[in-house]
Amino acid sequence: MPPTRSASTLHWTSSKRPDHRRLLAMATLAALLLLVAASNAAALSAKAVEYHSFVATPLSPHAYTAAPSADADEDLFGGSLAVADEGAAAASAVHFRVVHRDAFAANATAAELLRHRLQRDKRRAARISKAAAGGGAGAANGTRSRGGAVAAPVVSGLAQGSGEYFTKIGVGTPSTPALMVLDTGSDVVWLQCAPCRRCYDQSGPVFDPRRSSSYGAVDCAAPLCRRLDSGGCDLRRRACLYQVAYGDGSVTAGDFATETLTFAGGARVARVALGCGHDNEGLFVAAAGLLGLGRGSLSFPTQISRRYGKSFSYCLVDRTSSSSSGAASRSRSSTVTFGPPSASAASFTPMVRNPRMETFYYVQLVGISVGGARVPGVAESDLRLDPSTGRGGVIVDSGTSVTRLARPSYSALRDAFRAAAAGLRLSPGGFSLFDTCYDLGGRKVVKVPTVSMHFAGGAEAALPPENYLIPVDSRGTFCFAFAGTDGGVSIIGNIQQQGFRVVFDGDGQRVGFAPKGC
């Protein structure tokens, strides 16, 4: 009956009416739980942030004035370059004392030299980006793409006004000492030679091939000559000619030849193909030439691979170590070693090949951590090499100072570092290519968040704080030593490599990082 249905309907409706008080209680409880969870997450996050204690030492305001001594060669590089006995020269491994004193005068302050270095760095990075994308292999290295150990000491070149790392070797017979730039981004080995039509100032004597009994010219028709991208021929002499032009405006040209190189301790390597430059200009101040350590067919590691294998390693001293002196300075010296990998503490990541540019050492960077936590915005996709175009990817380079990351990855890293370093006072305006700087004037020790780089295969490079927070003046300004790039290729520079033994295992096609390797 209608009244009964109505009552039943009314009763059903009444049974489903919301209990507002219960809902309010539940909502309040949920809000409290969310608040507690957020509080716990914040507390856990705060506890999870990892920090380094960083000694904030500004740059010296004084100009470097150290003058070379008559015994600088032996004092600085830990031994004579003269040929030792046959047993030492033929040894499968060479061991000797390593130092890093800077014996070269430079009439400029550390801050002035740093500015100059960063200007050169910008040009170099642009040149590498162009070459990596197939914009001219000759601009990169002058070449077409194609058991035992030898060691040589390495010196930081900041106080020499060159902004590179150097090794001293002997050239020719008898041996002439030559200070050479180490460059993993080039293949051709070259040095200035007398007679000079146009040469820049260098430390030490200019090599004169006319006084060397082991010097040999390369014929125009020789296979060695055909490996050059920018090769030529002197028809009158039938002599092979080379030329290498760099993106920073530097250029070297002259005869392509073979010569014997000698390393401290007496190890000799005969018939190394190199450029004997009679016409040179540019920014290779102090160095006699360049030792190309790239992956190409004319690089030094490739040329000596039959005797020592295709592997080498180096450990780069702090870029300001040249201003130190005495025993403390010597303790921060380093070596470059040609031969089988010996860094047992190294963690390795596979090399990646760029078919458009054989010279560079590519690796796969898969992430970066700040304060012990992965930065979400550092995306592997932004750092991956595209083999079809040659763009993208990450290279390890000894000649670039500052690590450059694809712009989105850099922005994410910078923002994460700023957030984790909120306790440090930002310095407005930045410095050169750095957009994140801090005013640490008057502070001796500060806490800075940790930074680690993660590579394919599980390799990790946990950076010490001086590898990413560097002084840029004498007033206590320190800058986050990374930068962004829109040039395609990302570059792990030598500031971030400081103190690591970096192993380039060409036989195993892998790159390794061993901390505290110097």
Residue with structure tokens 């001219």? 136
Whether residues 281 and 364 share a domain: the answer is: no
Q: Which of 285, 306, 339 is the last residue of a domain?
A: 339
CA distance 77 to 319: 17
| Residue 39 located in a structural domain | no
Residue 43 lies in a domain: no
Give the ranges where 133-245 is alpha helix by DSSP (H). 137-140, 223-226
Q: Which of 183, 229, 318, 473 is an active site residue?
A: 183
Q: What is the per-residue pLDDT across 382-421, written as a single tens digit (0 to 9) for each?
A: 999 998 888 899 999 988 889 999 999 999 999 999 999 9
Judge if 177 and 313 occupy the same domain: yes
Does 155 fall in a domain?
A: yes
Q: Which of 282, 309, 339 is the last residue of a domain?
A: 339
For the chain, the domain total comes to 2
Would residue 251 count as lying in a domain?
yes
On whether residue 223 sits in a domain, the answer given is yes
311 and 168 housed in the same domain? yes
Nearest 5°: the CA angle 501, 504, 506 is: 160
- Judge whether residue 37 has pLDDT over 90: no
* Per-residue pLDDT at 230 exceeds 60: yes
**pLDDT score, position 246:** 72
User: Structure tokens of 43?
Assistant: 């507390």
Domain that holds residue 464: 50-60+108-134+342-517
The per-residue pLDDT for range 91-111, each reduced to its tens digit, is 554 433 333 333 344 577 878
Q: What is the mean pLDDT of residues 32-53?
A: 55
Give the pLDDT confidence score for residue 429 in this predicted structure: 86
Indicate whether 360 and 313 sit together in one domain.
no
190 & 114 share domain:
no
Residue 87 pLDDT greater than 90, yes or no? no
Output the six-digit token pair for 324: 């130190």
Give the number of other Cβ atoms within 10 Å of residue 286's Cβ: 22
Among 339, 374, 400, where does a domain finish?
Answer: 339
DSSP state of 59: P
Is-catalytic flag, 183? yes
Separation of alpha carbons 478 and 470, rounded Å: 5
In the DSSP assignment, the letter for residue 422 is: T
pLDDT, one tens digit per residue, over 186-215 is 899 999 999 999 988 887 899 999 999 999
Q: What is the pLDDT of residue 121?
A: 84
Position 373 confidence tier, pLDDT thresholds 50, 70, 90: very high
Question: Residues with Cβ < 8 Å from 54, sequence gap 6 or more?
Answer: 445, 446, 447, 448, 465, 466, 469
227 pLDDT band, cuts 50/70/90, is very high
169 and 305 part of one domain:
yes
115 and 210 part of one domain: no
Query: Is 2 a residue whose pLDDT tops 90?
Result: no
162 and 289 both lie in a single domain? yes
Write the CB contacts of 39 (distance below 8 Å, at least 6 apart in sequence).
none
Mean local confidence (pLDDT), 287-299 = 90
CB 301 within 8 A of CB 506: yes
Letter for the amino acid at 53? S
In-domain check, residue 96: no
More confident residue, 178 or 246: 178
Q: Residue 101: inside a domain, yes or no?
A: no
Q: Give the CA-trace dihedral at 432, 438, 441, 446, to 10 degrees.
A: -140
Residue 41 pLDDT > 90, yes or no?
no
Q: What is the mean pLDDT of the chain?
A: 79
Q: Would you state the pLDDT for residue 328?
A: 43
279 is catalytic: no
Question: Residue 140's pLDDT band (boundaries 50, 70, 90)?
Answer: very low
Distance from C-alpha of 156 to C-alpha of 234, rounded to nearest angstrom: 38
With respect to residue 24, please indicate whether it lies within any of the assigned structural domains: no
pLDDT at 294: 93
First to last CA, the chain: 99
The model's pLDDT over 316-351, given as tens digits with 9 standing for 90+, comes to 877 554 444 444 444 456 678 888 776 678 999 999
pLDDT one-digit tens code per residue, 444-464:
999 999 999 999 999 999 999
CATH of the domain at 254: 2.40.70.10
User: Do 455 and 379 fall within a single domain?
Assistant: yes
Tokens for 151? 């060691």
pLDDT digits (tens, 9 = 90+) for 461-496: 999 999 999 999 999 999 999 999 998 899 999 899
Could you tell me if 165 and 297 lie in one domain? yes
Q: Are residues 434 and 464 in the same domain?
A: yes
Neighbours of 162 (CB within 10 A): 24
Confidence at residue 466, expressed as pLDDT on a 0 to 100 scale: 95
**Same domain for 257 and 129?**
no
Scanning 56-109, the segments in alpha helix (DSSP H) are 72-77, 86-89
Angle at alpha carbon of residue 402, lines to 383 and 141, rounded to 5°: 80
Q: What angle do CA 45, 48, 50 make, to 5 degrees?
A: 130
Element of type H or E holding 306: helix 305-308
Task: Compute the residue count for the chain.
Answer: 518
Structure tokens of 474? 């004498």
